[in-house]
Amino acid sequence: MRVYVNDEERQIHVYDRETGQDYAKSVLCSQDRMSTDEYGEFCLSEEEYTGWVKLLEKLQESEDIRFSLKEKVDAEELKNYLYEETKYVTHTKETIDMENICLKEVQEALAAHNNAWLAENGFTKTIQE
């Protein structure tokens, strides 16, 4: 996604590892009303840009973890777990943070073969595999 910071063009991205599509624009626009210039280009302050870069880096980390778990975790169980853990979070930043924490917990439980944690959090099919 192209944005302008102090009249300088910059890029910010976050990629869905399954499809390869960049969805940074959807994330940015879901949170705030974005300022645009006379050409309809998104304009950010240096502070806003830095904040979004950090947030999108965390979201990309989550995408990478999700992709690495693809063969190890039942997709429906992961979807249900993430939904349950984030369903009351309404702010984009908080959702990204919480999802990242949850994915890391799943990753750690799998690495440690922590079947008790997996069972407690609804990963019964994953344990059976």
**Domain annotation covers residue 64:** no
- Look at residue 98 in the predicted model and tell me its pLDDT: 96
User: Rounded distance, CA 44 to CA 89, Å?
Assistant: 25
User: Rounded distance, CA 3 to CA 40, Å?
Assistant: 10
- SS3 of 112, please? coil
**Domain annotation covers residue 47:** yes
Domain containing 31 equals: 1-56
| C-alpha triplet 5, 6, 8: angle, nearest 5° | 65
Measured between its terminal Cα atoms, the distance across the chain in Å is 39
Provide the CB-side half-sphere exposure for 59 (13 A, CA).
Answer: 23
Count of domains for the chain: 2
Q: What's the pTM?
A: 0.86
Per-residue pLDDT tens over the stretch 63-105: 999 999 999 999 999 999 999 999 999 888 899 999 999 999 9
- Look at residue 32 in the predicted model and tell me its pLDDT: 67
- SS3 of 44, please? strand
In this structure, the answer to whether residues 3 and 33 fall within a common structural domain is yes
**Domain annotation covers residue 62:** no
Task: Give 5's strand partners.
Answer: 8, 44
